Amino acid sequence: MTDVRLRQALLVAIVILGLDQATKEIVRRSMQLYESIPIFPGFSLTYVRNPGAAFSMLSGAPASIRIPLFVGVTLVAGWALVSYLRATPEHRLHLVWALGGILGGALGNLVCRVRYGEVIDFFHLHWGEWSWPMFNVADSAISVGVAIVLFESLRGEGAGVAATPGR
């Protein structure tokens, strides 16, 4: 892997990890659990803790099973991301940045799981009776990164294909 791709992906991952941990710490220190602060219609900051995975999956499982499982899944995902990054053509920087964002988000939630046994979430989208599950900066980076990777795969010039410049 060239140093450029690795450095750029790691820089994005570090920025996402830092933003994620800083925002979670601000929420943890300045809000009470389950406190909600309306920002504008349909969007609030609401402090919750999620012991499960996405959408609270496995939240009822014992911590002795849940935490090692999530740590293991994160490590495997990290390995897969680095493998995909190695196969990504150097000229596709937006894909490198997306992979860095996914990695940073995964690490951000991993830090929470190791520190607290659960993830701090606080972004709350809602409208009337409808409410999207709470999320955080790490979740946002993962979602945006995955969307970019999927979009790029649909474009047809996938990672691992020796692409010619200007193609």
pLDDT tens across 10-43, in order? 999 999 999 999 999 999 999 999 999 999 999 9
pLDDT digits (tens, 9 = 90+) for 110-162: 999 999 989 999 999 999 899 999 999 999 999 999 999 999 888 866 444 44
Confidence of residue 5 (pLDDT cuts 50, 70, 90): confident
Q: Which of 12, 139, 141, 159 is catalytic?
A: 139
Q: Which of 23, 107, 121, 142 is catalytic?
A: 121
Residue 19 corresponds to which tokens in the numbers above?
A: 């933003």
3 is catalytic: no
3 state SS for the chain: CCHHHHHHHHHHHHHHHHHHHHHHHHHHHHCCCCCEEEEECCEEEEEEEECCCHHHCCCCCCHHHHHHHHHHHHHHHHHHHHHHHHHCCCCCHHHHHHHHHHHHHHHHHHHHHHHHCCEEEEEEEEECCEECCCECHHHHHHHHHHHHHHHHHHHCCCCCCCCCCCC
Most confident of 2-6, 56-60, 139-143, 157-161: 139-143
Residue 132 three-state SS: coil
- Whole-model pTM: value is 0.85
